[in-house]
Amino acid sequence: MTAPRLAVLVDGAPLPDDQARELWARFSAWMEEHRGDLAGFAAREGFASVHPGVDAGRPVLLASKSAAQRPYAVADAVERRPARPGSRTGGSAGRHEPRNRDRSKPGKSKK
């Protein structure tokens, strides 16, 4: 099985593989330096918008000369794992929450 090819569609038309790889390389470098700045990359490359996505299991850049740029967004298809029963959620914040105490029994004060 071969790895999925990186694809680029410009207003629905696919770029040749070599041009698609080059655009992806420039996109990756740009995003490392300018996190989330899709509009800046699109303008630099002469597009009105660029959006990363997935098409049939392969990464694809959807570029357009006319479609408006949308903000960078998290993919809807990301699956979240449910928390283990009895575990606290919320990362390190959960470790800093006060423990639940059984307040039905009188306790000794540490004063």
- The pLDDT of residue 95 is 41
| Count of domains forming the chain | 1
Confidence of residue 93 (pLDDT cuts 50, 70, 90): very low
pLDDT, tens only, 66-92: 988 887 765 433 232 344 444 444 443
Burial classification of residue 20, based on how many CB atoms lie within 10 Å of its CB (0-12 exposed, 13-18 middle, 19 or more buried): buried
Q: What is the distance between the terminal CA atoms of the chain, rounded to a whole angstrom?
A: 69
pLDDT, tens only, 59-71: 899 999 998 888 7
- The pLDDT of residue 31 is 93
Closest C-alpha to 60, from 2, 10, 110, 3 = 10
Confidence of residue 2 (pLDDT cuts 50, 70, 90): low
Residue 69 lies in a domain: no
Residue 83 lies in a domain: no
Find the mean pLDDT for residues 27-48. 94
Residue 16 lies in a domain: yes
Question: Is the C-alpha dihedral spanning 52, 53, 56, 62 positive or negative?
Answer: negative
Closest C-alpha to 50, from 87, 79, 60 = 60
Residue 87 lies in a domain: no
Amino acid in position 24: W
3-state SS, residue 17:
helix
d(CA 111, CA 100): 20
Average pLDDT of the chain, as a whole number: 74
Amino acid in position 12: G
Quote the domain boundaries for residue 57: 7-64
d(CA 32, CA 49): 18
pTM, two decimal places:
0.60
